[in-house]
Copies of this chain bind each other. A is one copy, B any other.
Amino acid sequence: MKREPLCPAFDLDKAARAGLLGQRPAVLWFTGLSGSGKSTIANAACNELHARGKHTYLLDGDIVRTGLCRDLGFSAAQRVENIRRAAEVARLMVDAGLVTLTAFISPFRSEREMARRLFAPGEFLEVFVDVPLAVAEQRDPKGLYRKARRAELPDFTGIDSPYEAPASPDLRLDAAGRSVAFNVGRIIDAMEVAGLLSPPDGPRRP
């Protein structure tokens, strides 16, 4: 499944691009219920990484749904295809040298594993944004749970479509009991432990 370098025919590779950026490319794959705080925490993590001079991109479910995946709905098969495309784009972004944060519900374990297999070992961190369903439903920032409970939104994760919580994520964030700032600190710590905030191995910025 793993295919790298993506294009051996080209002179520049991931290492050359990451070297110019002075960083290690990686993907932080946020998963969790709607309303768990994935995008909020990922956005705050981007700010912190940007302040540290890291070049990031936040690939958000809502953005992808209005562009790349706007032909897809929310059936199980279409959710799988949504995550497949998102993972392929994240792979291109990482190949471009970026620290890529993805914020997708990504409810199925098999699709998250599919995503992981596109990356080199150590390059993919699964970040489980964990809140009880009751908390997410009470927050309901987009009013989606209310709609789902009225059966106006079929196949809604946590209501009538399953969320398969990660059994052993690289990082589990308590997004009900802890602040966004605290959770961003945990992400930075995890990246440091994983060596992702160290200088790259390849050639450096001149």
Contacts and interface: CB of A to CB of B under 8 A. Distances in A.
Interface in A84-121: 85, 88-89, 91-93, 95-98
A68 B96 contact: no
A75 interface: no
Contacts of A39: 9-10
Q: Which of the four size classes fits the interface of chain A?
A: 35 or more
Contact of A12 (B16, B47, B67, B92): B47
A26 to B, nearest CB: 14
Contacts of A62: 7
A121 B6 CA distance: 31
A39 B56 CA distance: 27
Contacts of A10: 39, 43, 46, 58, 60
Contacts of A20: 50, 53, 55
Contacts of A6: 63, 67
A16 to B, nearest CB: 7
Given A53-B206, A57-B95, A68-B92, 19 more contacts: A7-B62, A10-B39, A10-B43, A10-B60, A11-B47, A12-B46, A12-B50, A17-B50, A17-B55, A17-B57, A21-B21, A55-B96, A67-B91, A68-B88, A68-B89, A89-B89, A89-B92, A93-B96, A96-B96
Interface of A: 3, 6-7, 9-12, 16-17, 20-21, 39, 43, 46-47, 50, 53, 55-60, 62-63, 66-68, 71, 81, 85, 88-89, 91-93, 95-98, 205-206
